[in-house]
Amino acid sequence: QKEVEQDPGPLSVPEGAIVSLNCTYSNSAFQYFMWYRQYSRKGPELLMYTYSSGNKEDGRFTAQVDKSSKYISLFIRDSQPSDSATYLCAPGLNQKLVFGQGTRLTINP
Amino acid sequence: NAGVTQTPKFQVLKTGQSMTLQCAQDMNHNSMYWYRQDPGMGLRLIYYSASEGTTDKGEVPNGYNVSRLNKREFSLRLESAAPSQTSVYFCASTLEGLGANVLTFGAGSRLTVL
């Protein structure tokens, strides 16, 4: 069993839709939970991160963590074509990050 | 501010050839990393260096060597390339502290081994 599981997609939605991206993890010791965004042929870049269970909002993006069920979500409201990218979840423990496979998302105009 | 710079961006090798991927960061970060990214596998850590003069193996170190030349530079060497090493390689760096490990990535180096 992989330490972090993420549906690779691809996921295709119309512009303006609410997008939900999800990961599950097996290590209950993870201390913080990150989301990276990767545009085609580019390196990943940090989108947001949170330490605790609950929601963290940043503009149109909301990261949600449920430690009891080991479930991580990223919600994108009012999705835009510029949000088309691969999204990688990455829970971390101390200085170690474990990356999910990434979900490829396409927002259609 | 260039961030993390990787060279070369693209490389084609024949089986058995050797090559070195170069990485440099200008953010005064103390830790540097090499990852490989393959379809369906996500990012996997090859080697990392917590500080100048130290290196440690990651999840998939076999077939690779690294050198932390100074605080800015961290190179990855393939001594005898194999087709299984066809991948996209990413260098990353961070200013490690007590909090979350926020990595800054380079743009990647695409390697094909024939």
Of A66, A62, A52, the closest CA to residue A19 belongs to A62
The amino acid present at A5, given as its one-letter code, is E
What is residue A71's three-state secondary structure? Answer: strand
Q: How far is B70 from chain A (nearest CA, A)?
A: 21
Q: A37 to chain B, minimum CA–CA distance in Å?
A: 11
Whether the per-residue pLDDT at B1 is higher than 70: the answer is no
CA A2 to chain CA centroid, nearest Å? 17
Return the amino acid letter for A19. V
The pLDDT-based confidence of B37 (bands split at 50, 70, 90) is: very high
Per-residue pLDDT tens digits for A12-59: 999 999 999 999 999 999 999 999 999 999 999 999 999 888 899 999
Q: Work out the minimum CA distance from A96 to partner chain B, whole angstroms.
A: 7
B107 to chain A: nearest residue by CA?
A43
- Is residue B39 pLDDT above 90, yes or no? no
Share of residues in chain B with pLDDT > 90 (%): 83
What pLDDT score was predicted for residue A94? 82
CB B79 within 8 A of CB B18: yes
Contact B92, B109 (CB under 8 A): no
Residues 68-87 in A contacting B (C-alpha not used; CB under 8 Å): none
Q: Determine contact, residues A13/A108, Cβ cutoff 8 Å.
A: yes
The answer, for B96 touching chain A at a CB cutoff of 8 Å, is yes
pLDDT score, position B24: 97
User: Taking a C-beta distance cutoff of 8 angstroms, is the pair B78, B64 a contact?
Assistant: yes
Length of chain A: 109
Report the amino acid identity of residue A42. Answer: K
Rounded-to-integer distance, Cα A34 and Cα B43, Å: 14
Residue in the structure block whose two tokens are 């130290």: B54
The stretch A71-87 carries a mean pLDDT of 97
B92 contact residues in A (CB cutoff 8 A): 43
pLDDT digits (tens, 9 = 90+) for B49-104: 998 889 999 999 999 999 998 999 999 999 999 999 999 999 999 987 667 788 99
